[in-house]
Chains A and B, each alone.
Chain A
Amino acid sequence: MTQKTTEARIELRVARYRPDKDREPGWQEYDVPLREEWTVLDGLNHLKDKVDTTLAFRWSCRMGICGSCGMNVNGEPRLTCATFLSDYAPGPVRVEPLANFPVVRDLVVDLTDFMEKLPTVKPWIIRDDDALPDQDGEIDGEYLQTPEELDAYKQFSMCINCMLCYAACPVYGLDPDFVGPAAIALAERYDLDSRDQGARERLDVLIEHEGVYGCTFVGECTRVCPKHVDPAGAIQRYKLKAAQESVKAFLLPALPKRLRGGR
């Protein structure tokens, strides 16, 4: 058997952008072996290793948990480590940087915008009694939770910040001020946590125009999410909460914020 010479190959059309040379991105075609167990990321790593060392892309774990290797494959935001070349045979496979983000180089995008937005929704546990010492003078950080209480937010805690949802969201593409799917889903994750008391603080941020109301329920974020987080669902529920809050504020204007709502 002359397996080496008959090995199937597939064409990768890779978007290249070299900021020091190019004024705008262009395409470069490569041939990579088409092996049943090879993902798009394996193809890129093969290129980087054997063909073209100048190719730039992000990756880390190769097992769908680090969230680094998100790219647009044939126009769809995908984790390239979980996207098999054989599913695109006979090719070619178009590989582009994630949509809606500025391109730094080749397949690498600039995520600064998300990194700045994420802390504004306070994705951590907020307690009224934070840092209050107990009878023994110690700060006790243990808050027990039942399986049902865990179940209430678990789905939203699976987010790996891979940014596929932002790449799929036309609202974010057209209006980069929109807080975006993953950040709102993470806000919901902490709101639904029985240990958390910060719902009120988060609502103040998300009730703004660029918060939940920016979303027009396209639903693509949920469709592309590799972790089944359902950001679209989280945002619609948040809208309901925000609307209830507005009605309460209208009916009971005299009550201080704390008594009216949140948890």
Chain B
Amino acid sequence: MSEDLTYRRPISTWWWLRKRSYFLFVMRELSSIFVAWLVLYLLLFVRAVFEGEEAYRDFLDRASSGPLLVLNVLAFGFLLLHTVTWFGVTPQAMDLRVRGQKVPKGAILGAQYVALVVVSGFVFWLVAR
């Protein structure tokens, strides 16, 4: 066998900055960390509510402190990105057929946002009533 003369191009650590779509993909993956943080934060909040009024007030005080506020605003931004990007790719992953006809992308996309509004409305009602 002769020597392998093919050239293997190295992949830059910054490959995801090369294209807008790659960047969006990496941001979408990154958003999972912020989603996990918000889940944890919600659980901490629930715990504070159960521990009584003082713990609840402490929690609210800390929530309005500078660094935590910045973190949560950032996390909410990523949560929005997470929602929009994953909703956006769902029609591609689902092959829904009704009476042999493929369900159009818009219908699946619309259904997700309707479900989001309904669930959010229910939660809001639960908290605010």
Contacts and interface: CB of A to CB of B under 8 A. Distances in A.
Interface string A79-116: 00000000000000000000100111000001000000
B11 interface: yes
Contact of B29 (A216, A222, A232): A216
A130 B21 CA distance: 45
A19 B5 contact: yes
A236 B92 contact: yes
Given A17-B7, A19-B6, A104-B6, A170 B29 contact: no
Given A148-B100, A170-B15, A170-B16, A219 B89 contact: yes
A102 B7 contact: yes
B19 interface: yes
A228 B29 CA distance: 25
A25 interface: yes
Given A75-B18, A236-B92, A237-B93, A99 B9 contact: yes
A192 B80 CA distance: 35
B129 interface: no
Nearest to B91: A233
Contacts, number: 59
Interface in A205-252: 216-220, 222-223, 230, 232-233, 236-237, 239-240
A236 B6 contact: no
A174 interface: yes
A174 B9 CA distance: 11
Given A173-B15, A174-B11, A219 B6 contact: no
B37 interface: no
A173 B11 contact: yes
B25 interface: yes
A25 B8 CA distance: 10
B127 to A, nearest CB: 34
Given A148-B100, A173-B15, A230-B92, A220 B8 contact: no
7 smallest CB-CB distances across A and B, nearest first, come from: A236-B93, A19-B5, A102-B6, A103-B7, A233-B92, A218-B25, A102-B8
Interface of A: 17, 19-20, 24-25, 75, 99, 102-104, 110, 148, 170, 173-174, 216-220, 222-223, 230, 232-233, 236-237, 239-240
